[in-house]
Structure 1
Amino acid sequence: MTGFLTRRTTVKYLAAGALSAALPGLFAGRADAAVTAMKQAIAEAAARDEALSAFYRARDFKPIFVGKSDSRRRGALLKALAKADDHGLPGSAYDAEGLKGMMKQARTPSDRGRVEVEAAKRLLDYADHMRSGVLNPRRVDRGLVMDVPRYDRTSTIDAFSKSNPQAFLKKLAPRKPEYVRLQKEKLRLEKLLARGGWGETVQAKALKPGQSGGAVVQLRNRLIRMGYMRKTATQTYDANLQSAVQKFQVQHGLAPDGVAGASTLAQVNAQVEDRLSQVLVAMERNRWNARPLEKKHVYVNIPDYHVDIIQNGKSTFRSRVVVGKNTEDRRTPEFSDVMEFMVINPSWYVPRSIVTKEYLPLMKRNRNAAGQLQIIGRNGKPVSRSAINFAQYNEKTFPYSMKQPPSKGNALGLVKFMFPNKYNIYLHDTPSKSLFGRETRAFSHGCVRVHKPFDFAYALLKAQESDPEGFFQSTLRTGRERRVDLREPLPVHLAYYTAWVDPKGRAHYRNDIYGRDRTIFRALQNAGVSLRAVQS
């Protein structure tokens, strides 16, 4: 039977041919089933997240992380999450290694669908934290009243899916030079922490030039490690050590007298961990205020006790200020607004809280107390004190307001600078000049008192008056209250930074006068942010 097939062989070949013909459809069916299983898993995993559900629904539940062509996105995301700690973010919350393991272990289409959504969630958390901060400031401290923009989650992941993934993730960090400088200072401190810090603390209450001994050596060694002086074997508080102390004092907001008094030694003995926590908080604050500041603006850093007019990144005017006292109802809040006008020879309309809590108790004991203030009735006219029975009123029922007419002794001084806001906070002059000579200047009811208010006024009027000083002084001499509008309203930022790095790379630190940094750092720790030591 050569040349002929047996019946059994014929059947075998026919079956093989039928199967071969059917294979493309069979494989397609299996592939379709796998795609369907993955899409269903994505839909189910994203169902409770409205933003992700909307995103995946719009793309028919196709993946962006776990598909065969998604390796660049996977790699970019995992790399960014792994470096989250470099930004002072809670790296453990994104768990790059855990996500990587989940991706490797995902065997079935359903597993990959669930991992897809998990990766998307971590992307969105990371993006939100990087652009707007880990914390919501209003939930951390009542004094943190700034408005922080939060970006739409659906738009965020949609933009990521259509962008170069590495470029997109890189651009999430605040695009501000000061943020980059803080990040470098963070790494420097982490390396110092790994090497044991700045060494032995200074065991003395105070040291001054000319002294010698063990405590002077401790001070010398600590300042050498901090980078304020070169290595030396001297055991005496000599001119070089005095110069190093002065440099240290300048960068810590202390009077640069070259004497290591109690306040200076307290700062010298601060630990690396203390400074690192301040930097982490400052980076978080930069994320809350991620938008670059205007080319020209007024800037008050509350813990630094100074106001500046900043133009093109440089200070064109600077003055000491007094800020709110560290009590719950007097701390100066942090927010931004726009300065619209100044008032020369202002009246002081006493805030209701001060009227009822401070002056009413005084006037109950002596109706003539606070005699510099007028009592104002509901019709807006002055009322004689002799016509008022102060004893019958309390904080809630007292029906009068109080006002101090323009004068040199006016609580607002001779000029105030207004950026109308619901917190009733503004900048102003003051007759209490002695407070500006102190290192710690937190004494006001919340407003910001300016040491050089006239010079501040001249600097503001320079943009609209050919002779700003002459205009101001002639208006002042009238003794009458006058509002002067700024033709170019100026943004005002009341900020709170206890750590920053100047353009020359010098780190500056200030005291946490309201305890806000301490509160923020605790909240960051609760969110997963931690101090870390980095080997060089």
Structure 2
Amino acid sequence: MTKLTPVNKFSVYLLILLLPAFLFTLQSCKKKRSEMANVLFKKTHNKVFRDFEPDSFAEVFKQVLSDTTLKIKHNEFILDYYAKNEYKPGFILNHLFNGDLNTADNYFARANEHGLDAELFKAAELKNMINKFTAKNEIKTVNQAYHDMALLELTAASSIINYSNALRYGVINPKDIYQRYFMATKKPDSLTMVQVFHIHDMKNYLDSIQPKDPQYIALQNALKTGFTADGITQEETKRILLVNLERLRWRNKPYETKYVIVNIPDFGLNVIDSGKSVTKMKVCVGQGRNMANANTLIAYNDSCKIDKPNEHETPLLNSLIHSVEVNPVWNIPRSIANKEIIVEAAKDRFYLANKNINVYQNDKLVKDPENINWAKVTKYNSDYEFKQAPGDANSLGKIKFLFNNKSSVYLHDTPAKSAFYKKMRAVSHGCVRLGDPKGLALTLFGAGKKYDLISKDMDANNPDPTEIYLSKKVPVYITYITCWADESNVLQFRPDVYGLDIVLYDHLLKDLPAASIN
């Protein structure tokens, strides 16, 4: 009889201790496998699922994820989520057998109500997968079950995420297609997308993400009914509605109680307070590349598909108006000085004096600029700077409203009042000229000492610059909207003065199946 050494005794003793734990773990795994297998068999009545094993399914799921990585949006997020959750088919277990996935598919199938196409959310493909999985004899082997389950789970997850993102954030990222887009715009992140994996009631969730904005609903109803605008074909009307529905899905809208909003195609400014317009005026904006409306959403050439803005176009942005400068000095930009000021000075030696423009060289005032031979001064050899003193001739008028932005634009008065009587008011170098600057000052500052000072200084004969700060900064939004519902719920349409509709439409063509917009 072999005598046990102390080491062997210890090994046997350890084995006896670990055996129950091993048996318990083994039973737990079997129980885990059998539970999922039992659920699937009970729901499908397909004997194949009696042999279903979660670990084997996980391996197949990994392979399917790997094979389809390049074909789905947000693939890295989706892959990471399932890896962290043991590749559990949550959408199948929680939403297939209670009809939730069919409900979701019905919403996808009606995506055209939003100007989108059901193919973007794989509606037909998802429906076929659901029918195949729930049919008793369609799945013949457990390996086929693994593959079809993985494909269904992945398609459901991807489609619901894409649908949710499209309705809540839009299909296109405006920062990717517009060169002068500086508006704060929220995009979906992992915290947003992970919500779809925790849906309890699919219909309630899908109802909750439908856009509720009255503007959106007005345009949506027009799209559904085939509305045709006066003087525009039905097809072009549809395309205008499509691009503006997409804009309304972007998360860049004002959320403050009081704000200033400029709509470039409308050449208009509104001050909104508690949802109502309290001040409204005409404005002039920067020159655009489609001011004659030569290119429309029906007829345009390939060069219009990419955003190539006119150098004077007003940028799209949001910021905070923090102060005004009454009787401002205009520091004339070098581009304007080279193309306009020097040219005019060469024609008329007294042009600078008549316009009250001072000339500086190396930061020193030039005493007799009329003695300079401006005809020989070009943008290549000029070291002059130009500043227009306050006064009636100042191009900024009597007041400018200041807010931080990368484009050095602002809202301001102008001595050139005749432009406000024109229909086409894309005439500035990029800033926004105000039809009623005093009215805006009164709305922002309110009646009181500060406004009285502003009014007095604007009327002064020998003005000096005065900077006055708002006690509370007021948000300003410079936007671009070519179709909206007015106060009477009548749809208003405006020409695409900067050609931004065309740029957006072309990118929608690239991102969406052709059937959705043709």
Aligned to 1:10: none
Other structure's SS at 1:457 match:
helix
Change (3 A) 1:268 1:181: closer
Give the partner amino acid of 1:134: V
Give the partner amino acid of 2:164: A
Is 2:436 the partner of 1:409? no
Is 2:479 the partner of 1:479? no
Aligned to 1:347: 329
Aligned to 2:223: 186
Which of 303, 306, 325 is the equivalent residue of 2:287? Answer: 325
Which of 18, 26, 34 is the equivalent residue of 2:53? Answer: 34
**Aligned 8 A contact 1:273 1:531 in 2:** no
Alignment of 1:386-465 (within 5 A): 394-395=378-379, 397-462=381-446, 465=447
Q: CA shift at 1:467, angstroms?
A: 5.3
Change (3 A) 1:430 1:144: same
State how far apart, in whole Å, the 2-side matches of 1:175 and 1:497 are. 18
**Aligned 8 A contact 2:181 2:315 in 1:** yes
Give the partner amino acid of 1:330: H
**Aligned 8 A contact 2:168 2:251 in 1:** no
Change (3 A) 1:421 1:406: same
Q: CA shift at 1:390, angstroms?
A: 5.2
Aligned to 2:18: none
Structure 1 residues not aligned, in runs of 5+: 1-23, 198-266
**Aligned 8 A contact 1:41 1:111 in 2:** no
Q: CA shift at 1:495, angstroms?
A: 1.1
Other structure's SS at 2:359 match:
strand
Q: CA shift at 1:530, angstroms?
A: 6.1
Q: CA shift at 1:75, angstroms?
A: 2.8
Aligned to 1:281: 243
Structure 2 residues not aligned, in runs of 5+: 1-29, 38-48, 70-74, 134-138, 140-144, 290-309
TM-score normalised according to structure 2 size: 0.76
* Offset from partner CA, 1:237-258 (integer Å, 9 cap, x none): xxxxxxxxxxxxxxxxxxxxxx
Give the partner amino acid of 1:358: E
Give the partner amino acid of 1:342: V
Q: CA shift at 1:509, angstroms?
A: 1.2
State how far apart, in whole Å, the 1-side matches of 2:515 and 2:258 are. 36
Is 2:77 the partner of 1:51? yes
Change (3 A) 1:110 1:177: same
State how far apart, in whole Å, the 2-side matches of 1:139 and 1:63 are. 34
* Offset from partner CA, 1:361-415 (integer Å, 9 cap, x none): 4445666544422222343645643686656664355333211010011000000
State how far apart, in whole Å, the 1-side matches of 2:430 and 2:503 are. 20
State how far apart, in whole Å, the 2-side matches of 1:62 and 1:397 are. 70
Q: CA shift at 1:474, angstroms?
A: 2.3
**Aligned 8 A contact 1:133 1:287 in 2:** yes
Other structure's SS at 1:67 match:
helix
Q: CA shift at 1:508, angstroms?
A: 1.1
State how far apart, in whole Å, the 1-side matches of 2:432 and 2:385 are. 22
Is 2:462 the partner of 1:500? no
Is 2:82 the partner of 1:98? no
State how far apart, in whole Å, the 1-side matches of 2:213 and 2:513 are. 22
Aligned to 1:518: 502
**Aligned 8 A contact 2:167 2:210 in 1:** yes
**Aligned 8 A contact 2:187 2:251 in 1:** no
State how far apart, in whole Å, the 2-side matches of 1:292 and 1:183 are. 21
* Offset from partner CA, 1:10-44 (integer Å, 9 cap, x none): xxxxxxxxxxxxxx99x949857532232223333
Which of 155, 179, 183 is the equivalent residue of 2:191? Answer: 155
Change (3 A) 1:495 1:104: same
Q: CA shift at 1:348, angstroms?
A: 0.8
Q: CA shift at 1:338, angstroms?
A: 1.0
Is 2:47 the partner of 1:65? no
Change (3 A) 1:495 1:359: same
**Aligned 8 A contact 1:35 1:109 in 2:** no
**Percent identity of paired positions between Structure 1 and Structure 2:** 27
Moved more, 473-482 or 277-286: 473-482
* Offset from partner CA, 1:423-472 (integer Å, 9 cap, x none): 1111111001111111221111111111111121112110xx52565332
Other structure's SS at 1:493 match:
strand
**Aligned 8 A contact 1:88 1:283 in 2:** yes
State how far apart, in whole Å, the 2-side matches of 1:434 and 1:42 are. 69
**Aligned 8 A contact 2:267 2:282 in 1:** yes
State how far apart, in whole Å, the 1-side matches of 2:499 and 2:94 are. 51
Is 2:323 the partner of 1:377? no
**Aligned 8 A contact 1:345 1:482 in 2:** yes
Aligned to 1:356: 338
State how far apart, in whole Å, the 2-side matches of 1:446 and 1:330 are. 5
**Aligned 8 A contact 1:64 1:73 in 2:** no
State how far apart, in whole Å, the 2-side matches of 1:460 and 1:68 are. 53
Other structure's SS at 2:91 match:
coil
Other structure's SS at 2:470 match:
strand
Other structure's SS at 2:240 match:
helix
State how far apart, in whole Å, the 1-side matches of 2:515 and 2:483 are. 16
Aligned to 1:489: 473
TM-score normalised according to structure 1 size: 0.73
Is 2:209 the partner of 1:172? yes
State how far apart, in whole Å, the 2-side matches of 1:440 and 1:525 are. 29
Q: State the superposition RMSD in angstroms.
A: 2.9
Aligned to 1:141: 178
Q: CA shift at 1:76, angstroms?
A: 3.7
Which of 104, 124, 127 is the equivalent residue of 1:77? Answer: 104
Aligned to 1:311: 273
* Offset from partner CA, 1:317-351 (integer Å, 9 cap, x none): 11111111124111112121111111100111112
Change (3 A) 1:288 1:370: farther
Give the partner amino acid of 1:282: N
Which of 130, 134, 149 is the equivalent residue of 1:112? Answer: 149
Give the partner amino acid of 2:62: A
